[in-house]
Structure 1
Amino acid sequence: MTSPAQERLLHAAHTLFSGRSIHRVSIDDIVREAGSTKATLYRHYRSKDDLLLAVMRWESQAWLHGFQDNVARLEPHPARQLLVVVDALAGGWARPGFRGCVLTRLVLEQADPDHPAGQVLEDHQRRVREYLAVLARRAGRPEPDRLAAELHLVLEGAALLAGVGRDREAFSRARAIAGQLLGDPVYGEKADGA
């Protein structure tokens, strides 16, 4: 549970961290954006790093719920939901101004490879793979954990190319690759219209 003051601080920090480099966002910027005070920020978060980790956990949770909701909206039948994971991802990320996964960008900005932000990203990626494995099991696919790892790699690659590389075709190619992994050529052929 977070208080309204924490929600405002998280939202403000998320907006600023997502739009600029972490190192270009000051505590003053965050409290100004949140309409808060430094005393309130430090009552809830010991440091900027503590706030960064909270923002990353919040982003991870929101992203995963949004992804799951997109999958369920695109394909209500649980056994067929695996067939829409690329579309669910593209729907949320293939938009103007998309700069790639916020969590990945925040981790890459850290100079320290042992920064705790890396663990938050690893936890997020594990949860995504677990969700994909659940979908693979529902679909009766053999080796669901392997398939989930392969699909996750395709999704991460598409997000990176679309965000950082500004590759507008990344999700179409990802859909074709996913179609091959799933043994569903029709899935891959629908890439242009998805």
Structure 2
Amino acid sequence: MPRPAARDRLLEAARELFYAHGYSVSIDAVTERANVAKPTVYAHFKSKDALIGTVLTAASDEWFTELDVELERRGGDPPAQLVAPFDLLAANLPDPSYHGCLLVNSAAVFLTPEHPAHHALAIHDERMLALFERLATAAGSTQPTVVARQLLVLYDGVKTRGLVDHTGTAARDARAAAMALVTVG
């Protein structure tokens, strides 16, 4: 099997280190983990912030790829599709090594709205809102836009509750609440 390209190794190393140790991880640590020279980072990324933004965008894209597969698997069953995001979140819990959502964590660390972390989270949330609205409509909601916003709050709640509740209960509770929202709304 061929060795991944330097850029891919950098992204993987940065994601692992940022998730496990936070964003104060040095570029030196990332290059060491990726087994590349420091100039390689700057050949691919303008700055550490650009690397962070790329890591977050890739993480979001991976989530949507996984979610799309699950939605396809549940095709023809709108209520089951609606709760798919919550089921996927619960599938990885309990996990004592869970450190929260990479995107939410980054937005909490980098407080300026211009930081790539905020941009990545905003794009992720926009995609989730659009998806929730489409799924709520298919599931028969009479207020899909309102329900989508409420589902996003539940979705984000699962990711933050998972920091202190490693049982998966938050995801199961959010799943039940999502079903109730569609039934009522």
TM interval, shorter chain, is 0.7 to 0.9
Partner of 2:117: 117
Separation (CA, whole Å) in 2 of partners of 1:94 and 1:128:
23
Query: How do 1:73-152 and structure 2 match up within 5 A?
Result: 73=73, 75-80=74-79, 81-152=81-152
Query: d(CA) in 1 for partners of 2:93 and 2:116?
Result: 25
What residue in structure 1 maps to residue 164 of structure 2? 165
**C-alpha distance in structure 2 between counterparts of 1:123 and 1:93, whole Å:** 25
Which structure has more relative contact order (CA 8 Å, sep 6+)? It is: 2
Deviations 1:87-139 (A, max 9, x none): 13212454331121111111211243542321211111111111111212323
Residues 172 and 140 of structure 1, relative CA distance in 2, 3 Å threshold: closer
C-alpha offsets along residues 42-67 of structure 1, whole Å, 9 cap, x if unaligned? 11111111111111111111112112
Identity of aligned residues (%): 31
In 2, are the aligned partners of 1:78 and 1:135 still within 8 Å (CA)?
A: no
Superposition CA RMSD, Å: 2.1
Q: Residue by residue, what CA displacement relative to the aligned partner does 1:9-40 show, whole Å, maximum 9, x if unpaired?
A: 111111111111111x1111111111111121
With normalisation by structure 2, the TM-score equals 0.86
For 1:84 and 1:114, how far apart are their aligned partners in 2? 32
- Which residue does 1:56 correspond to in 2? 56
Query: What is the identity, as a one-letter code, of the residue corresponding to 1:152?
Result: L
Match of 2:10 in 1: 9
Q: Which runs of 5+ in 1 are unaligned?
A: 185-194
Aligned residues: 179
TM-score w.r.t. the length of structure 1 is: 0.82
5+ residue gaps, structure 2, are none
